[in-house]
Amino acid sequence: MITLGVEEEYLLVDPATAAPAPMVEKVRRAAHLGPFADGDEIQYELLQAQIEVATPVCWTLDEVGGHLLRLRHALASAAEASGCRIAATGAAPVLGGLPVPVTPIPRYMTMAGDARRLVDEQLICGMHVHVGVPDPETGVAVLNRIRGWLPVLLAMSANSPLWDGRDTGFASWRTVVFGRWPVSGPAPHFDGFGDYEERLEALVASEVIADRGQIYWQARLSDRYPTVEVRCLDVQLRADDAVLFAGVVRALVVTAIAEEKAGLCLPVLAPELVQAATWRAARHGLNGTLPDSLGRPRGSEDALEALLRHIAPALEDAGDLRVVSGLLHRLRQVGTPADRQHRALREAGLPALIDLLSGSGTSA
């Protein structure tokens, strides 16, 4: 069994209007008053209407789901006591009036000085999955081998169709917003760990970015933990939606490690193909064709079947096949979170959307 952990970002919103509520300090203090959350598990984010949680290191999907439910409940209770709600959405459906204040941490204040408008519009929330790897060289091999699958994961996870009171026409507007930073989107193919390190050092030396933390590739090696960190996912409406992606990402990593050890040939996708596939996944989610891991167009159902076939042995070995298959079946039945946001807004308006984003955020 290989370890994993999950980080989730949420918006803090006004319960009546869904406008961002810059109340992170109050919510964070309230969450610490109860017995439910450890101080290291609830963290600041760039803007004061955002908050992040991080699970401990986990071995099983049951652990991941249990920790996410515990942390979501703790934050939801603290937010309610503070006069706001947490919203598990990839992008703010309503922006409100004045820009949300930046969290007063030196690194964040520097970012605001360097890219004011980008920071003002960073009201987006993702889900990051960390999976343990035995060494950095293996980690880079994993990055190369999972690269072609990330657009499929993005399409499955899409949960940000609305922005500033309007339908964007995209399933994952968060991907578009995040893609405006200088080092973002799909990572390149690397010629080993040495090449990876040289590229990161060159980017920092260029002074276009301040530090390695501003390497916003959709998958990267963590500088803090011995893990591969997959970052392409929108935050999910429900905790068990997040469990699905934790299981799929770990299985992709395990499969990549097995392929690397077996010396299996790895076709290298051209960067423009990966970028195009990412854009299409962000635009359509699962509604339409989707390039597969080799860049070939497939129907979304075929792409999901190919993904499941690819990772089924790893899921079986971990005891996760039944859970992941069941959650994947539900995704096919009810659609992506972006589809669910559209339905809620169409059928019952803004109140139903707010209930979906905040009410479901505390349920399984």
pLDDT in tens, 305-359: 999 999 999 999 999 999 999 999 999 999 999 999 999 999 999 999 999 999 7
What percent of the chain has a predicted confidence (pLDDT) above 90? 89
Alpha-carbon distances of 326 from 232, 240, 347, 364, rounded to whole Å: 22, 11, 27, 14
pLDDT of residue 338: 98
pLDDT of residue 36: 57
pLDDT in tens, 187-246: 999 999 999 999 999 999 999 999 999 999 999 999 999 999 999 999 999 999 999 999
Give residue 297's pLDDT band: very low, low, confident or very high (50, 70, 90). Answer: confident
pLDDT of residue 361: 37
Cα separation, 53 vs 272, in Å, equals 34
Q: Judge whether residue 34 has pLDDT over 80.
A: no
> Across residues 67-91, what is the average pLDDT?
96
Q: Where are the domains of the chain?
A: 4-362
Quick check: helix, strand or coil at residue 170?
coil
Strand partners, 4: 58, 131
> Across residues 2-15, what is the average pLDDT?
97
> Cβ(157)–Cβ(172) under 8 Å?
yes
pLDDT of residue 261: 97
Class of domain 4-362: alpha beta
Q: Which helix H or strand E contains 206, and what residues bound it?
A: none
pLDDT of residue 363: 38
Which 8-state DSSP code applies to residue 124? B
Give residue 362's pLDDT band: very low, low, confident or very high (50, 70, 90). Answer: very low
**269: which 2 tokens?**
């996708």
What percent of the chain has a predicted confidence (pLDDT) above 70? 97
Quick check: helix, strand or coil at residue 207?
coil
Cα separation, 322 vs 243, in Å, equals 13
Phi, psi dihedral angles at 102 (to 5 degrees): -75, 140
Q: Judge whether residue 360 has pLDDT over 50.
A: no
Mean of the per-residue pLDDT values for the chain?
Answer: 94
Of 185, 247, 196, the closest CA to residue 218 belongs to: 185
Mode of pairing for the β-strands spanning 4-13 and 166-167:
unpaired
Angle between helices 150-157 and 239-262 (to 10 degrees): 170
* DSSP of 6-28: EEEEEEEE-TTT--B---HHHHH
**28: which 2 tokens?**
């964070």
Cα separation, 204 vs 12, in Å, equals 32
Of 137, 156, 295, 131, the closest CA to residue 236 belongs to: 156
pLDDT in tens, 44-67: 999 999 999 999 999 999 999 999
